[in-house]
Amino acid sequence: MGITMQVLKLVIQCKCVRSIGFPSGQFSRVDNFSTSCQWRARKKVSQYSTVDTERYSSLVREVLSSKTSSQTPNSIEDEDCQLYGPIIRSRPTSQQPKVPKNLHPLLNEAKGQSEYLPGPLARITLKRDPNKTSIPSVTRILQKTMPPDQAFYLERWKRRMIAELGEEGFREYSSNIFRQGKLFHATIEDTFTQETPSKEDHESPAEVSGYIESVSNVLNDITGVRAIESVVDHSALRYLGIVDCVAEYRGSLCVIDWKTSEKPKPSLRHTYDNPLQIAAYIGALNSDHNYNYQVENGLIVVAYKDGSPAHAHFLNSERILPFWEKWLLRLEEYAEK
């Protein structure tokens, strides 16, 4: 009876194999079939099973055991220093905007607005007494307190120019820029001091003819010139400067600053510290007893060598006050150095 039952089970198992599609002669031997007639699918062959594990392990060990790298933060910083100069770390910005410790007024209450009377132009020259402590100029104060980001870009530009022109070529380039600037200012001065009223009749040197052509549209809007290349001294805050021009621009009395540029500067932000310079000159002129009037407005005129129309950035009394406060901060920073 026991043998019969075993044979019967084998027969049933063989029938199950045929029912799932296997030919009857495929299996010559059937081992370990369960009575539940379950068939397990064969596992998929992994694509990584053919990888040479020994060779792969050796490669990984070689990479991980390397002690040097082609680039490191230090090497990258060294390369940047060679290309652009040393990194200038900026100071962390404070949450509250800085306010000058001494908020000195821009205007002088002792002076009033005076009507322009034609007469000799003010041209006060700079006279330094070697026996007295030298008073810093506006230009020097701005240079010594230049923000880190401006100093970074200025130094990077300088290094790039030296790389292109060489040391000697860069010195010659800087000398030419300085000479053209002086010649441009002298030509503007001659334009305002010539006896003939027509500015078009005045011939300008070929070297600055493009700059003069550039500012021709602005010159037509300037009248009532009161001072040219004249020193202004702020005795209370102890600084001085030389204003390019004091005149009326479209009816508003302004301190005017002439600038030259090879690139367009259509926006005031492109003029960097020039608005602070104008504010400093206005404050000094208003404090200086050599001038019996005061000024509330400023004008920055950017002339271009190719003769394209100059950009005139007008700063009324409301716009000039924030730059006056920034100038006072720079002045305090200079005093602390």
Active site residue 244: yes
Task: Please tell me the total number of residues recorded for the chain in this structure.
Answer: 337
* pLDDT of 16 above 50: no
- What's the confidence (pLDDT) of residue 232? 97
- What's the confidence (pLDDT) of residue 57? 60
What is residue 248's DSSP assignment? E
- What's the confidence (pLDDT) of residue 63? 43
* Contact indicator for 124, 230 with CB cutoff of 8 Å: yes
Q: What is the mean pLDDT of the chain?
A: 78
The single residue of 43, 78, 233, 257 carrying the catalytic annotation is: 257
- What's the confidence (pLDDT) of residue 69? 39
Neighbours of 187 (CB within 10 A): 20
Burial of 263 (0-12, 13-18, 19+ CB in 10 A): exposed
Distance between CA 299 and CA 246 in Å, rounded?
A: 10
For 109-143, how does the pLDDT look when each residue is reduced to its tens digit (9 = 90+)?
887 655 656 678 889 988 876 666 789 999 999 99
Token pair of 2 as six digits: 């026991």
* pLDDT of 275 above 90: yes
The confidence band for 194, taking pLDDT boundaries of 50, 70 and 90, is confident
The confidence band for 35, taking pLDDT boundaries of 50, 70 and 90, is very low
The single residue of 233, 244, 273, 288 carrying the catalytic annotation is: 244
- Averaged pLDDT, 222-237: 95
Q: If we measure between CA atoms, which residue out of 229, 263, 76 comes closest to residue 157?
A: 263
Within 8 A by CB and 6+ apart from 180, the residues are 207, 208, 211, 260
Distance between CA 242 and CA 278 in Å, rounded?
A: 10
* Span of 79-88, 218-227, 326-335 with lowest mean pLDDT: 79-88
- What's the confidence (pLDDT) of residue 135? 92
* pLDDT of 19 above 70: no
- Name the helix (H) or strand (E) containing 73: helix 73-84
* Contact indicator for 238, 134 with CB cutoff of 8 Å: no
What is residue 268's DSSP assignment? G
The single residue of 233, 259, 265, 273 carrying the catalytic annotation is: 259
- What's the confidence (pLDDT) of residue 86? 67
- Averaged pLDDT, 59-70: 44
Q: Which domains does the chain have, with CATH numbers?
A: 121-127+134-336 (3.90.320)
- What's the confidence (pLDDT) of residue 206? 85
- What's the confidence (pLDDT) of residue 24? 45
